[in-house]
Structure 1
Amino acid sequence: MRTLVIGDIHGGYRALLQVLERANVTATDQLIFLGDYVDGWSESPQVIDFLMELNQIQSCVFLRGNHDELLLDYLEVNVENIDENLWYKHGGKTTVVAYSTVSKEKKATHIAFLKQLKNYYLDEKNRLFVHAGFTNLQGVAFEYFPKLFYWDRTLWETALALDEKLEKTDLLYPNRLKIYSEIFIGHTPTTRIESMKPVQKACVWNIDTGAAFKGKLTLMDVDTKAFWQSDLLPDLYPDEKGRN
């Protein structure tokens, strides 16, 4: 059985189908999704429908992303005064339009799905999977602010800025990077550092390769580090703009 981790999908249903096919995913594989299933491209409802169906036939772990929580808030409250800076301008508008044709009954199933998402997943090999990061120096079990699991960027920024000459035994080595054998995250696109491939810094692997924007969706084998990618999302959705 392979353990496969999938980066931020952001409504790119076509990319999801494509990358699963390219990786020859079967029901024997375990799939770990890093969150942000929605916002960006036009098929957020289709993505969630597909993930719920997939969960019936194989082992899946679904983590919570910040955009997933924003969608849950919208579906539960159906707010009219959307915070445009927080959500609407960052893919939420496309999601609102997509859900305008979704039945009340189906929305209820999506709400249930979004509510059961996990904040993090720690496997038997001490590998941590989390959408964004954490700040507590003792690890995720001691995090005071759960929202940081899907909003934090300081873990990735710390890994990026780390002097590669430092050893884990050095006094200046960040404690957060000593706790887990590997950490797999999404949330902050690698395209910000001009890469469309997964990037490793210290023990942190960033699998968000910019599918929300002009990049690709990535699926990686966590043991071998082999990875598969979709086409560029703008090529799969030529009539859409995605997120700015």
Structure 2
Amino acid sequence: MPRKLVIGDLHGGLKALIQLLERIDLTPDDKLIFLGDYVDGWSDSANTVTYLISLARQNSCIFIRGNHDDLAHKWLENGEMNQKWLEHGGQSSIDAYRNFTKEEKEEHVRFFRDMFNFYKDDKERLFVHAGFTNLHGPDYEYYETGFYWDRTLWEMVLSMDEGLEPEDSYYPRRLKHFSEIYIGHTPVTRIGKTRPYNKANIWNVDTGAAFKGPISAIDVETKEVYQSDPVHTFYPDEQGRN
């Protein structure tokens, strides 16, 4: 039976991603939805993108745009950068591309350019890197940067009363548009979790790969979780984004 698997933030941790896919026992029939942040962190940022491009020739893949992907794309395409990006993983991506040819970089630019800001499947499930702010849903969002930067969707759901039901008048309208919402962007390690975490109808699949956590995947139908070893253990001589 083909599976639909959602994979959280990678941050250049290619070795951990390869281990994760081995543990998933990936088949060509499985569909993969990546929630963004493929780069900025570990030294394999550029190699991770190359690997994902190749993987998409074998499996059906949806690549959601993360904030770090947007920043790396702008640097690759027109040299745009800022100090905060350099301090939060950007330098690792610049270093990772030093030995890449112009043609290879152009292929990566196309990869970044073709990403989705969000994806909706036929079962009213939304997949997005960070979230959305418009009460009418992501199709009505005014600024696309919110899809990969804004944390208020996750912050809102964490603050919700456990007993609040969708029928209640105070239930957030943003959540009513979808049966489930899958996000990354904000590591669940910030709330003391090590596995994808569910609150209301949101699943956060970012388990801190940029820091001390693993890369995680979840089967959207069965909710079975797969994880790599902590990514930093594959890169013992690096600091990541610690």
Per the normalisation by structure 1, the TM-score is 0.97
Q: Give the corresponding residue for 1:40.
A: 41
Look up the match of 2:11.
Answer: 10
1:32-54 residue CA offsets vs partner (Å, 9 max, x unmatched): 00010000000011111111111
Question: What amino acid does structure 2 have at the position aligned with 1:63?
Answer: I
Deviations 1:12-71 (A, max 9, x none): 000110000001011010000001000000001111111111111121101100000000
Cα distance, 1:7 vs structure 2: 0.2
Give aligned pairs, total. 241
Shift of 1:238: 0.4
For residues 129-208 of structure 1, the aligned pairs below 5 Å read 129-208=127-206
CA distance in 1, matches of 2:174, 2:165: 14
Whole-angstrom CA distance in 2 between matches of 1:93 and 1:189? 21
C-alpha deviation, 1:83, in angstroms: 1.6
SS at match of 2:18: helix
Question: Cα deviations across residues 85-121 of structure 1 (Å, max 9, x unaligned)?
Answer: 2x11111111111111111110000001100000001
What is the letter of the counterpart of residue 38 of structure 1?
V
CA drift of 1:84 comes to 1.5
CA distance in 1, matches of 2:138, 2:232: 35
For 2:95 and 2:50, locate their aligned partners in 1 and report how far apart those are by CA, in whole Å: 17
Q: Give structure 1 regions of 4+ aligned residues with deviation exceeding 3 angstroms.
A: none
Matched AA of 1:103: T
Describe the SS at the equivalent of 1:159: helix
Q: Secondary structure at the match of 1:9?
A: coil
Is the aligned partner of 1:52 residue 2:53?
yes
Structure 2: distance between partners of 1:231 and 1:125: 31
Amino acid at match of 2:240: G
**Structure 2 Cα separation of the partners of residues 28 and 146 of structure 1:** 31
Separation in 2, partners of 1:83, 1:112: 22
- Give ranges in structure 2 of 5+ residues lacking alignment: none
Give the match for residue 83 of structure 2: 84
Structure 1 residue runs of 5 or longer lacking an equivalent are: none
The normalised TM-score by structure 2 is 0.98
- How many Å apart are 1:177 and its aligned residue? 1.2
**Corresponding letter in the other structure for 2:79:** N
1:114-165 deviation line (CA, Å, top 9, x unaligned): 0000000100000000000000111111111111010110000011000011
Q: In the alignment, residue 91 of structure 2 is paired with which amino acid?
A: K
Secondary structure in 1 aligned to 2:161?
coil
